[in-house]
Amino acid sequence: MHEAGLARAVAGELRERGLTVRDVRLLVWHGHDAPDAFDASLRAHLALEAPGQGDEIEIVHLPAPRLCAACGRAFESVAAADPCPACGGTSLPAPGHEQVEIELR
């Protein structure tokens, strides 16, 4: 799972900058079929990398552009599995790669 590597990177940045998870939030684009499962996995890995802090991190999933495979409508959604708001069809894979940004509060 790439959440383990992400947790290591986040914990390393926090240590390097003298921050805790209460000082930051993670912004995620071009997300997952199941954002809740991603969050749970990331928090579990972060708890191993930064004991006592995994449950406290704020993770915000931002909408990404999608295109409906059925009707061709462009729309935005958080989860890749979200249906088209116009017809309920499935979305094509979002262009671009998953992005995670650490934002200072």
pLDDT in tens, 74-101: 999 988 888 999 999 998 876 777 788 9
- Comparing C-alpha atoms, which of 76, 85, 5, 1 is closest to residue 37? 1
* Residue 86, amino acid: A
The helix/strand count (H/E) of the chain reads as 2, 5
Q: Domain ranges in the chain?
A: 2-104
Cα dist from 97 to 22, 31, 88, whole Å? 27, 9, 24
Strands (E), 1-105: 24-29, 58-61, 64-67, 74-77, 99-104
Residue 72 has pLDDT above 80, yes or no: yes
Predicted TM-score of the model (pTM)? 0.82
* Residue 83, amino acid: P
